[in-house]
Structure 1
């Protein structure tokens, strides 16, 4: 189900110059290309992106699930990634924010997308936030 869901979002993203409708119509999305930590195979996942103080941030929320998304494990193993955003694409390096930076950034993300406050209530884990820097 999740793979099919992601495939539909990615197809819509690519067909519409990086725009999608439905539950993500109000957000900026990117397509995150990572390398599987175990498999070494290429992986692609849609992710919401936030611009906070000039930093491009993504949130490993998995809608508040108790487990981290697989792409986070992949980025922890290999922080070099590739993104598609709008009609542009380029290489990035991911940096997981330390707790103090993460907490401040998450509060700002919640201001832009209040649903992320709800995600925090669904899990006991600290939802990671990562900065993507263009390489």
Structure 2
């Protein structure tokens, strides 16, 4: 089973839910919207490569202190999500953690043994990642956000 195309009603609903999550997260400093299905959520700021507009994506994260780890899961069968391309084109950006804590971070993609170790921990944190990986033809990037 392939994920729905990016223009489907599913993805429109997904984008609306993400916008709602961002508003709730920011207004309550993460007391609401700071978790999804029991997993911690951060807000990742990025700039659209084509539009130049500021964007924010709520994403499940793994605290691998001092780093934060996120996964570029829902993009499509053969395409990474737009936030992944946007953030990888930036030298650094900011994330917002529950409590209103903001951190400046530098993104990089984990490779090899580091990726495998982090992937296993991310799947333990949020089981649907494993199922989603079987429905895509791409290797899902694990992104390490290092302190900038």
TM-score range, shorter chain: 0.7 to 0.9
After TM superposition, give the deviation of residue 20 of structure 1 in Å.
3.8
1:112 counterpart residue number: 125
1:134 counterpart residue number: 147
Spell out the pairing of 1:82-121 with structure 2 (5 A cutoff).
Answer: 82-86=94-98, 87-121=100-134
Assess if the C-alpha contact under 8 Å between 2:47 and 2:55 holds in 1.
yes
CA RMSD of aligned residues (A): 2.0
Structure 2 residue ranges without an equivalent (≥5)? 1-11
2:9 counterpart residue number: none
2:5 counterpart residue number: none
* C-alpha distance in structure 1 between counterparts of 2:39 and 2:31, whole Å: 9
Assess if the C-alpha contact under 8 Å between 2:66 and 2:147 holds in 1.
no
Mapped pair 1:65 → 2:76: yes
- 3-state SS of 1:15 partner: helix
* C-alpha distance in structure 2 between counterparts of 1:53 and 1:133, whole Å: 9
TM-score by length of 1: 0.86
After TM superposition, give the deviation of residue 53 of structure 1 in Å.
6.2
Question: How many residues are aligned here?
Answer: 133
- 3-state SS of 1:132 partner: strand
Assess if the C-alpha contact under 8 Å between 1:65 and 1:122 holds in 2.
no
* C-alpha distance in structure 1 between counterparts of 2:66 and 2:93, whole Å: 19
Q: Which moved more, 1:36-45 or 1:66-75?
A: 36-45
Assess if the C-alpha contact under 8 Å between 1:19 and 1:25 holds in 2.
no
TM-score by length of 2: 0.79
